[in-house]
Amino acid sequence: MPIELSAPKLTVTVLGSGTSQGVPMIGCRCPVCQSTDPRDKRTRSSIYLEAPQGNILVDTTPDLRQQALREGLDHLDAVFFTHPHADHIMGFDDLRRFCDIQGGPLDIYGSAETLGQLERIFFYAFKPKTLVPGYVHVLPHIITEPFEFGGIEVTPLPVPHGAVSTLGFLFSRAGRKLLAYLSDCAAVPEPIRALIAGVEVLIIDGLRDKPHPTHLTVSAAAEVAQAVGARRTFITHLTHEKTHVDRQRDLPAGVDVAYDGMKLEFEL
Ligand SMILES: [Zn+2]
Ligand SMILES: [Zn+2]
Ligand SMILES: [Zn+2]
């Protein structure tokens, strides 16, 4: 455990804010995909938390390697998974580099369903017969209830997302609800709204304006933000439907568009 020399804080970095195909999309010549605004370059959705006593990565997107290089990540204490869709897990093998640097396995956390799918796809990482340097090796932990990690209380927030359920996460400390991260959800049920009521920052799925069967629209995400009384809200998991600037113009006060590389700092 590192010794805390300064006041403890929680730093959150948005590693990616794009939908499953990313923005720009391969082969698309629309104005958004051709935008030169760096905020219109959206890698697949993920966040990274530097908690007082540990670094947490949420999801291993297909863009994990580029995200880690861009943000200078070199040490992870845990990886939390929201759900087993390809855009949230397909960078899993790049965890190998962290295992190599740290000289041991990585603790990963998720629902039984998500960890089961990860073990099916990346079987070699779960029970290696021999530990080979340079390969990924993980220790799975099924999340069923709130737990403490890195000096932060973590509350799982199951939300519907079509055929699968996504785990959102509420990060709290000493009774303060600091951050709720709700990636990929079609709705936010009442019990989950109650858990995150009054949260300081909400980062929430708002795919686009056009309705989608498994994702919130931007206006539905803003409605959740208002209903739970989030002090600040950032929309994530966005498509190429609008530019960052055009999207931001439509939003109510207190609701903003997330972008890759965005950082939030909480004094604890
Ligand atoms: Zn997704
Ligand atoms: Zn496009
Ligand atoms: Zn998904």
**Residue 1 reports pLDDT greater than 60:** no
Distance (Å) from CA 6 to ligand 1 centroid: 36
CA of 44, nearest ligand number: 1
With 0-12 / 13-18 / 19 or more C-beta atoms within 10 angstroms meaning exposed / middle / buried, residue 133 is exposed
Question: Concatenated DSSP letters for 129-190?
Answer: SSPPTTS--EEEEE--S-EEETTEEEEEEEEEETTEEEEEEEEEETTEEEEEEE-S-S---H
Confidence of residue 3 (pLDDT cuts 50, 70, 90): low
Half-sphere exposure of 246 (CA within 13 A, CB side): 12
Residue type, 182: L
The pLDDT assigned to 6 comes to: 76
Distance (Å) from CA 183 to ligand 1 centroid: 7
Distance (Å) from CA 156 to ligand 2 centroid: 34
Distance (Å) from CA 197 to ligand 2 centroid: 35
Residue 189 near residue 220 (C-beta atoms within 8 A):
no
**Residue 171 reports pLDDT greater than 60:** yes
CA of 20, nearest ligand number: 1
User: Phi/psi zone of residue 186: left (φ > 0), alpha (ψ -120 to 50 degrees), beta?
Assistant: alpha
| Whole-number Å distance between alpha carbons of 221 and 17 | 14
Distance (Å) from CA 268 to ligand 3 centroid: 32
Neighbours of ion ligand 3 (CB under 5 A): 85, 184
Neighbours of ion ligand 1 (CB under 5 A): 20, 87, 184
**Residue 63 reports pLDDT greater than 80:** yes
**Residue 118 reports pLDDT greater than 70:** yes
pLDDT averaged over the chain? 96
Q: Where are the alpha helices (DSSP H) in 47-140?
A: 64-71, 86-89, 96-102, 112-121
Beta bridge partners of 154: 147, 171
Question: Concatenated DSSP letters for 24-40?
Answer: SPTT--STTTT---GGG
pLDDT per position as a tens digit, 30-45:
999 999 999 999 999 9
**Residue 133 reports pLDDT greater than 90:** no
Distance (Å) from CA 232 to ligand 1 centroid: 22
Distance (Å) from CA 126 to ligand 2 centroid: 38
Distance (Å) from CA 238 to ligand 1 centroid: 10
Distance (Å) from CA 42 to ligand 3 centroid: 16
The pLDDT assigned to 62 comes to: 98
**Residue 155 reports pLDDT greater than 60:** yes
Distance (Å) from CA 5 to ligand 1 centroid: 37
What is the model's pTM? 0.97
Residue 187's CB is within 10 A of a number of other CB atoms, namely: 14
Distance (Å) from CA 2 to ligand 2 centroid: 45
pLDDT per position as a tens digit, 185-222:
999 999 999 999 999 999 999 999 999 999 999 999 99
Residue whose entry in the numeric block shows the structure tokens 């009054």: 198
CA of 207, nearest ligand number: 1
